[in-house]
Amino acid sequence: MKIAVFPGDGIGPEVTREAVRVLQALDLPELTLFEGDVGAIAYRRHGRPLPDETLEMARAADAVLFGAVGDPSCDGLERHLRPEQAILGLRADLGLFANLRPATTFAGLEGMSALRPEIAAAIDLLIVRELNGDVYFGDKGTRRLDDGQRQGWDMMAYAEDEVRRIAHLAFRAAQGRKGQLVSVDKANVLETSQLWRDVVGEVAADYPDVALEHMYVDNAAMQLVRDPGRFDVIVTGNLFGDILSDQASMCVGSIGLLASASLGQRETAFGTFGLYEPIHGSAPDIAGQGRANPMATILSAAMMLRHSFGREDDAARIESAVARALADGVRGGDLGGDAGTGAIGDAVLERL
């Protein structure tokens, strides 16, 4: 089992360390970990946010565990040198087109939600975010207009094959859950969204057992705080998915709890190759202080065991250990407590 570990910037190394401790405690057969540089740390050491060595390491692995990238000291750099290019480059190079972001309210955390506890208690949803298209990967630039003003532009584009493959994945995910899929777009304004809506509607014919609903993104943002329990699986584009999943994290209590799996079509000897990362970023304001909550990264490691290694029992063990730690009152600063990164890792390890 070859896992490439890319801790990255800010709190990335701190939270990744705890997830690695959990993986090592499971006594997985022939577990080999390689560590590589990504993000600002890679830029400082190698002059690029995604060095060739790191990319080769990812290609040679069965799965990637990723921390976070981003550093305010890089704000003035040209776009291709910015830390975020590391994660975008990995997603593109590795063909990781589907980002699964589950959001479920843990027992005992209902009161930590930005919503009323009884509304928060009902949240058990999965956001399926398309990851290889949209404004993230379209042509972009800045130019001077005739009147001398600067103008920035980002091209939003989706080809129908890109929509079709993420739609199939989302329908299959809904089949394994409650059988309800909400496709989120802005089809009343955007051409890409009209195509998205048409293609998702066509794919629906293959899944008569799944109830499909189309929803505009502004309405989806509202419904997510009004009645999040109505959602089972949400499928949406790259930008809308990024925004809605951060919103969902505050509905369940903290962004420090949301894990993610980025999957493509490559199969390894064990399962589907994937990259696993917390949905949060590098949080430079608390970096290096041992205050970050590592649970999202630990839960991402659980997703790795499930999707990339077919080890459902080990994944469930980790998820249950995290749930029990929370039920026992283990809380990081993000949840109003004072447990540090290492102490939260210890609490999960004790309950494995």
Binding region: 91, 101, 129, 218, 242, 246, 281-293
Catalytic residue, candidates 71, 134, 242, 314: 242
Under rule CB under 6 A, which residues in 262-321 are in contact with ligand GGG? 277-278, 280-281
User: 27 an active-site residue?
Assistant: no
For position 134 contacting ligand GGG by CB under 6 A, the verdict is no
Q: Which is nearer to ligand GGG, 110 or 242 (CB)?
A: 242
Choose which of 5, 40, 63, 69 interacts with ligand GGG (CB under 6 A). Answer: 69
Choose which of 84, 185, 232, 314 interacts with ligand GGG (CB under 6 A). Answer: 84
Count of other CB atoms within 10 angstroms of residue 312 = 12
What is d(CA 178, CA 20) in angstroms, rounded to the nearest whole number? 32
User: 218 an active-site residue?
Assistant: yes
Region of 65-73, 162-170, 311-319, 320-328 interacting with ligand GGG (CB under 6 A)? 65-73
Choose which of 40, 63, 68, 325 interacts with ligand GGG (CB under 6 A). Answer: 68
Per-residue burial over 262-288, b if 16 or more Cβ lie within 10 Å, else e, is bbbeeeeebbbbbbbbbbbbbbbebbe
The full length of the chain comes to 352
For position 242 contacting ligand GGG by CB under 6 A, the verdict is yes
- φ/ψ of 68, rounded to 5, equals -155, 155
What is d(CA 121, CA 79) in angstroms, rounded to the nearest whole number? 41
Q: Which is nearer to ligand GGG, 131 or 181 (CB)?
A: 131
Q: What is the DSSP letter of 111?
A: G
Q: Which residue is nearest to ligand GGG (CB)?
A: 68
Give how many residues touch ligand GGG by CB under 6 A: 10
Q: Do residues 276 and 303 touch, judged by C-beta distance below 8 A?
A: yes
Q: Do residues 101 and 130 touch, judged by C-beta distance below 8 A?
A: no
Give me the residues that bind ligand GGG (CB under 6 A), please. 68-70, 84, 87, 242, 277-278, 280-281
